[in-house]
Amino acid sequence: MIPFLSLKEVTGLHAAEIEEAVKRVVENGWYLQGAENERFEGDYARFIGSKYCVGCANGLDALIWIFRAYIELGVMQAGDEVIVPANTYIATILAITENGLKPVLVEPSIDTLEIDSERIEALITERTRAVCIVHLYGRNAYSDRIGEICSKHNLKLIEDNAQAHGCKCADGRVTGSIGDAAGHSFYPGKNLGALGDGGAVTTNDPELAKAVRTLANYGSSAKYVFKYTGRNSRLDEIQAAVLDVKLKHLETDNAHRQQVAKMYYDGIKNPLITLPERLSDVQNVYHLFPILVRENKRDELQTYLKENGIETLIHYPIPPHKQECYAAAEWNRPQLRLPITEQIAAQELSLPIGPTIKPEDVQYIIEVINRF
């Protein structure tokens, strides 16, 4: 069986260094808010190209804290609107609704699967405060057009960089440093993954960084002094130590993903299958390798691949606006039509990709797909 992603193998790639880092923390006896967080935050901020990095408990919290901090700083208030792609993992939307903000969903482009920048401006109202882009599947979603729209309408640009560690936009800036703030996830399966949950916010705004750090630490601005009603949402020292090791290898690991993607792009030839428009490698770190399968044959292809020993996943089978949790949401009007998002949910299939998959396995997957 070729697994979709073997976390055991991913950890195994750098096992000795990871074990050494974990042992160091265990023996140090200091498990939260210490030197490991400080080192990782510094290294990650440098890697992304942002002035500040604040570690937190997970990627969802990172995004929640960005919006909450803007509310605490008076930049946004409950009921304000955030423009966000409809084709995303639900956490992006949850971070908006958790704060009493209103998601305004934008259709993706069927060619890139990312937010369609040409559809943003029509959705702007006097309540719009931000555009939240998602570098979904590891692919850069930023374009100068989006930057221009945000400047012109005085909107915050927030990046969900949960799937795109190390990706760059066309002018070479690293995703996560392009907008006003970015949320990052270090969920184990992400390109930069911890051995458990983890997340971070990056920004150049000192006020925002400070508010996020305070919110994620009970709202505490000084010991036993509480400025906000925050929560306990910190990155622990073991995860920070592991992430600092894995950050050193991220570019090598991403390069392996890019090699695999090249094989898929060059090798897959099946009239039922469409691949997303190819971008230069710097603009895609291939967290996932999505394909679209026509004529209602996606599920059939998935079963056929499974029978041939190939595990695949769907990202994502039910889009956020179709989820039960949002069935009665005021912003989720029944007349909301998102046919492209729904088409992706019906046709998308993610092929195995990761830092450990072997070229001969990729070759086998291509041959099996081309015979379908």
Q: Given the rule CB under 6 A, which residues bind ligand PLP?
A: 58-60, 88-89, 91-92, 134, 160, 162-163, 185, 187, 197, 199
Omega into 137 within 30° of 0, i.e. cis?
Answer: no
> In the chain, which residue ranges form alpha helices assigned H by DSSP?
7-13, 15-28, 35-48, 59-72, 90-97, 144-152, 206-215, 237-248, 250-267, 298-307, 339-347, 359-371
Least distance (Å) from ligand PLP to the CB of residue 26?
A: 24
Residue with Cβ nearer ligand PLP (128 or 191): 191
Which residues have CB under 8 Å from 109's CB, separation 6+? 115, 116, 340
Nearer to ligand PLP, 284 or 369 (CB): 284
Q: Is the dihedral of CA 134, 136, 138, 142 positive or negative?
A: negative
Q: How many angstroms separate the Cα of 324 from the Cα of each of 61, 64, 81, 102, 230? A: 22, 21, 21, 17, 28
Q: Give the residue with the Cβ less far from ligand PLP, 216 or 369.
A: 216
Query: Least distance in Å: CB of 154 to ligand PLP?
Result: 25
Q: Least Å distance between CB 338 and ligand PLP?
A: 17
**Distance in Å, CB of 146 to ligand PLP, minimum:** 17
Q: State the nearest-atom distance from the C-beta of 251 to ligand PLP, in Å.
A: 20
Identify whether the C-beta of residue 85 lies closer than 8 Å to the C-beta of residue 133.
yes
What gap in Å lies between CA 182 and CA 202, rounded to an integer? 5
C-alpha pair distances (Å), 125 with each of 121, 174, 297? 9, 30, 40
Minimum CB distance to ligand PLP smaller for 3 or for 196: 196
Which of 320, 355 has the CB closer to ligand PLP? 320
State the nearest-atom distance from the C-beta of 7 to ligand PLP, in Å: 14
Per the rule left: phi > 0, alpha: psi between -120 and 50, beta: everything else, 311 is: beta
CA dihedral 48, 53, 56, 58 (to 10 degrees): -20
The count of residues in the chain is 372
Q: At closest approach, how far in Å is the CB of 287 from ligand PLP?
A: 8
| Between 301 and 341, CB nearer to ligand PLP | 341
Nearer to ligand PLP (CB atom), residue 199 or residue 354: 199
Minimum gap (Å) between residue 190 Cβ and ligand PLP: 6
- Closest to ligand PLP by CB, 55 vs 273, is 55
- CB-nearest residue to ligand PLP: 59
Q: Cα separation of 51 and 93, whole Å?
A: 26
Q: Using an 8 Å Cβ cutoff, are 370 and 268 in contact?
A: yes
| Alpha carbon distance 158, 180 (integer Å) | 6
